[in-house]
């Protein structure tokens, strides 16, 4: 590999920012973009208020609801690093996309509200990160407000998530009495003359912890005493810093700060970039690992987005480059399609704009127009290479509804829409065996996905339908060949459906119905829904 390509790959940092809604993910992302000079004013990334529009708000639905439904990628430069931030949806609802985005990241930044600690979605997202064993950095936000005790917050992370924590800095009080933060590596107290929510970095005064004379001029004495005690406690009783453990996702470096007021943000960004990894190797299902510094280009599709731009009706497939260098116009091989192809109009998100690009490197995400050839998890590589990426799981839906067409004149459009959207994998659509397509079962992870489906069926296929939510909540794959539900003793409300690939599934009204199926039918082989798409 030539030196330039190697350097380009090594300076890439691709990560996702995750949080429960309102913890401050958007604000932190915005500050990082501001520092990198990628956007000019605060508010550019916000999607919540008035006419400010979010960078990632492409779909009409997002604008109507003022939320970010899809995930996007933002690339910017900072002090020699080339940073790709993968944005995950920040609204109340979850989708498969949220999880899949994490499959494309090499590390994650978990934003936590200091007053609230771990919240339900932090928990869900953490699980996916832990499953992949990627480094997880924690930013405890909103220290300018009344916060929970920092020791208690660390304890919660450790006990709930079963990981070690290493506070990189330490807050000196919080809320109205907030005085600054203590940087453990340099043993300096960082104080600020003036908090502000603006774009520029904060004017920071750094004073060594030993320099008490200067410190007492800026920090209330009792807080200083407390800080000294706490710093000693951390050094004595806390975890050792171990980069190896950080890289394995077993030890989370923790930063306290306030995204809104800029404090702690710069220190966070700099430490984070230093400690996180350049693009990680990926498992090759054909055997071995794919090294990002391998000469040969390879990538996998982690997300398919329909209709991002009204002017183009095509879908855009997002590929995470895993090795080598991508060159526009070059012929590559689409493994699952068994065809060579040139990717048309490859694009990259440069903060606010989408640009057509000529080259991209391992760690980067590119979006390509896709007339329908790709499915989630597909591999694109150089001709003659034996690469097949493994490990994009599909997650079990948690809510189900029966969706029925209204207008029999639109039968074709209804079944085309449902089938195509099912193929994208953004929403799970199941079909009744031995019956027509006028009724299907839809499964989603977040209820909002029902709205996305409705909107897309209307706007892309011109179809209205009836939706009836059902109380069923558990889904299992059936591993028996030639399965027919009528041959088994199942509760009357258990539903037998097929997925888009023809696989058999059972949807149950509750865990007791699953138990019934298992107990009454010793020959029935049920498996978790969750599986690797590529193995499915």
Pure H helices in 43-185: 60-65, 96-103, 120-132, 150-161
> Of 123 and 330, which has the nearer Cβ to ligand G4P?
123
Part in contact with ligand G4P (CB under 6 A); list of ranges 3-11, 165-173, 259-267, 309-317: 259-267
* The three-state (H, E, C) secondary structure of 289-346, written as one string: EECCCCCCCEEEEEEEEECCCCCCCCEEEEEEEEECEEECCCCEEECCCCEEECCCCC
Smallest distance from ligand G4P to CB 352, Å: 17
**Residue 25 in contact with ligand G4P, rule: CB under 6 A:** yes
Tell me how far, at minimum, the Cβ of 144 lies from ligand G4P, in Å.
Answer: 5
Q: Which window, 185-193, 252-260, 347-355, 401-409, contacts ligand G4P (CB under 6 A)?
A: 252-260
Give the burial string for 36-58 (b: 16+ CB within 10 Å, else e): bebbeebebbbbeeeeebbbbbb
* Contacts to ligand G4P from residues 135-164, by CB under 6 A: 141-142, 144-145
Binding string, residues 282-301; x marks residues near ligand G4P by CB under 6 A: --------------------
- Report, in Å, the least distance between residue 427 CB and ligand G4P: 23
Q: Is residue 69 a contact residue for ligand G4P (CB under 6 A)?
A: no
Q: Is 44 in the site for ligand G4P (CB under 6 A)?
A: no
257 vs 425 by CB, closer to ligand G4P: 257
DSSP-derived 3-state class of residue 68: coil
90 lies in the binding site for ligand G4P (CB under 6 A): yes
Q: Using the rule CB under 6 A, which residue among 8, 19, 84, 534 binds ligand G4P?
A: 19
* Shortest CB 173 distance to ligand G4P, Å: 15
* Of 24 and 249, CB closest to ligand G4P: 24
CB-based contact 402:470 (threshold 8 Å): yes
- Count of residues in the chain: 536
Nearby residues of 456 by Cβ (< 8 Å), 6 or more positions away: 306, 307, 417, 421
Supply the Cα-derived Rg of the chain in whole angstroms: 25
Query: Is residue 23 a contact point for ligand G4P (CB under 6 A)?
Result: yes
Q: Is 57 in the site for ligand G4P (CB under 6 A)?
A: no
Of residues 24 and 393, the one with the C-beta less far from ligand G4P:
24
Give the integer Cα–Cα distance in Å for 398 and 403: 16
Q: Do 359 and 8 touch, CB atoms closer than 8 A?
A: no
Nearest-approach distance from CB 23 to ligand G4P, in angstroms = 5
User: Quick one: which of 356, 301, 361, 297 has its CA closest to 330?
Assistant: 297
- Alpha-carbon distance of 402 to 441, in angstroms, equals 5
Q: Which residues bind ligand G4P (CB under 6 A)?
A: 19, 21-27, 46, 49, 90, 141-142, 144-145, 258-261
């Amino acid at each position: 590999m030539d030196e330039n390509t190697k350097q380009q790959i090594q300076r890439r940092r691709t990560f996702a920012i995750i949080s429960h809604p309102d913890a401050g993910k958007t604000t932190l992302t915005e500050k990082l973009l501001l520092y990198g000079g990628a956007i000019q004013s605060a508010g550019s990334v916000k999607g919540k208020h008035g006419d400010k529009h979010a960078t990632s708000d492409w779909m009409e639905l997002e604008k109507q609801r003022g939320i970010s439904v899809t995930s996007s990628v933002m690339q910017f430069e900072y002090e020699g690093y080339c940073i790709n931030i993968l944005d995950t949806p920040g609204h109340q609802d979850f989708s498969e996309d949220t999880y899949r985005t994490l499959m494309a990241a090499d590390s994650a930044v978990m934003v936590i509200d200091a007053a609230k600690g771990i919240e339900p979605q932090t928990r869900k997202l953490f699980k996916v990160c832990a499953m992949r064993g990627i480094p997880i950095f924690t930013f405890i936000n909103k220290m300018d407000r009344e916060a929970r005790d920092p020791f208690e917050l660390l304890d919660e992370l450790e006990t709930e998530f079963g990981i070690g924590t290493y506070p990189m800095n330490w807050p000196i009080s919080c809320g109205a009495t907030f005085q600054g933060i203590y940087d453990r590596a340099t043993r300096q107290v960082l104080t600020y003359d003036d908090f502000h929510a603006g774009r520029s970095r904060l004017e920071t005064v750094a004073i060594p912890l030993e320099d008490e004379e200067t410190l007492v001029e800026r920090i209330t004495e009792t807080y200083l005493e407390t800080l000294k005690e706490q710093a000693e406690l951390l050094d004595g009783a806390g975890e050792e810093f171990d980069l190896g453990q950080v890289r394995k996702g077993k030890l989370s470096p923790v930063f306290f700060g306030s995204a809104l007021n800029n404090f702690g943000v710069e220190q966070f960004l700099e430490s984070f970039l230093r400690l996180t990894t350049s693009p990680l190797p990926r498992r090759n299902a054909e055997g071995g690992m794919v090294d990002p510094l391998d000469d040969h280009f390879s990538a996998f599709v982690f997300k398919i987005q329909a209709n991002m731009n009204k002017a183009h009706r095509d879908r855009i497939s997002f590929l995470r480059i895993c090795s080598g260098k991508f060159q526009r116009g070059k012929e590559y091989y689409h493994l699952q399609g068994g065809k060579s192809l040139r990717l048309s109009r490859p694009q990259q998100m440069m903060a606010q704009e989408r640009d057509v690009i000529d080259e991209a490197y391992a760690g980067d995400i590119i979006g390509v127009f896709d007339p329908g050839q790709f499915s989630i998890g597909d591999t694109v590589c150089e001709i003659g290479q034996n690469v097949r990426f493994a490990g994009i799981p599909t997650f079990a839906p948690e809510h189900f509804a029966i969706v029925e067409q209204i207008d029999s004149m639109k039968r074709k459009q209804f079944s085309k829409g449902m089938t195509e959207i099912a193929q994208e994998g953004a929403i799970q659509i199941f079909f009744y065996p031995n019956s027509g397509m006028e009724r299907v079962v839809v499964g989603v992870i977040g209820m909002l996905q029902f709205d996305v489906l409705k909107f897309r069926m209307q706007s892309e296929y011109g179809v209205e339908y009836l939706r009836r939510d059902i109380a069923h909540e558990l889904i299992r794959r059936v591993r028996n060949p030639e399965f027919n539900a009528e041959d088994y003793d199942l509760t009357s409300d258990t539903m037998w459906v097929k997925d888009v690939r023809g696989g058999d599934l059972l949807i149950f009204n509750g865990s007791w119905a699953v138990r019934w199926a298992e107990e009454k039918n010793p020959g029935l082989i049920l498996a978790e829904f969750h599986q690797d798409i590529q193995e499915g």
